[in-house]
Chains A and B, each alone.
Chain A
Amino acid sequence: AQTVTQSQPEMSVQEAETVTLSCTYDTSESDYYLFWYKQPPSRQMILVIRQEAYKQQNATENRFSVNFQKAAKSFSLKISDSQLGDAAMYFCAYRRISSGSARQLTFGSGTQLTVLP
């Protein structure tokens, strides 16, 4: 079974600074997707960034980028120029890519990010 581990329950960052959230996962699959989702206090889950395991290039979305290390099964999220609106719970998630499966997401336990003004 796949597992996702987020070892940082809480992180804080000063506004305009950079912060990195860690995520490791365990799988025997060779192809899969990895995601970072953001859940603000209103609690609607929002997709931040997605990485396909077969792509060596790290995904980037504006101020958000990932460091994907497939051999180490590590998938960290870097937030640059942090803004107050980035404060939220961040979840790392894994999804199988194989056909015939439900392709449900397996989530980590989350990292609560606080942005300090």
Chain B
Amino acid sequence: DTGVSQNPRHKITKRGQNVTFRCDPISEHNRLYWYRQTLGQGPEFLTYFQNEAQLEKSRLLSDRFSAERPKGSFSTLEIQRTEQGDSAMYLCASTERLSTDTQYFGPGTRLTVL
């Protein structure tokens, strides 16, 4: 297994456009997390999936953000009508079923909104 993968690695868009990111977790990891990281800060939690169910969303996840995880495999994070404040690194992490629940992170998608 090659770990958590994310695509694209970089995305530059104009304000007002929609963007979609994809995360492929480690196979058989049933829990998936999205975080947002701005420059010089630690990641902040956005949302959490257990299998295909989205069980928790942060207040950071405004109505312009939507996340899905069809069939409990890969996940997508869409941002509609992007704003300059959305510029950040978007990180995905997955965990295995075991109680230790260590989160393994992907390389992230760097979003720049012009």
Interface residue ranges, A against B (CB under 8 Å): 4, 33, 35, 37, 42-47, 50, 91, 93, 95, 101-110
Contacts and interface: CB of A to CB of B under 8 A. Distances in A.
Contact of B101 (A103, A106, A107, A109): A103
Interface residues of B, number: 25
Query: Interface of chain B, helix or strand or loop or mixed?
Result: strand
Query: Interface of chain A, helix or strand or loop or mixed?
Result: strand
Interface of B: 31, 33, 35, 40-45, 48, 55-56, 89, 91, 93, 95, 100-108
Contacts of A110: 40-42
A56 B31 CA distance: 28
Nearest to B105: A45
A94 to B, nearest CB: 11
A106 B43 CA distance: 8
Q: What are the nearest 3 A-B pairs in CB distance? A: A107-B42, A45-B105, A102-B56
A104 B107 contact: no
B106 A104 contact: no
A64 to B, nearest CB: 15
A102 B55 contact: yes
B9 to A, nearest CB: 10
A50 B42 contact: no
Nearest to B106: A44
Given A91-B42, A102-B45, A104-B48, A43 B108 contact: yes
Contacts of A37: 105
B45 A104 contact: yes
Contacts of A95: 101
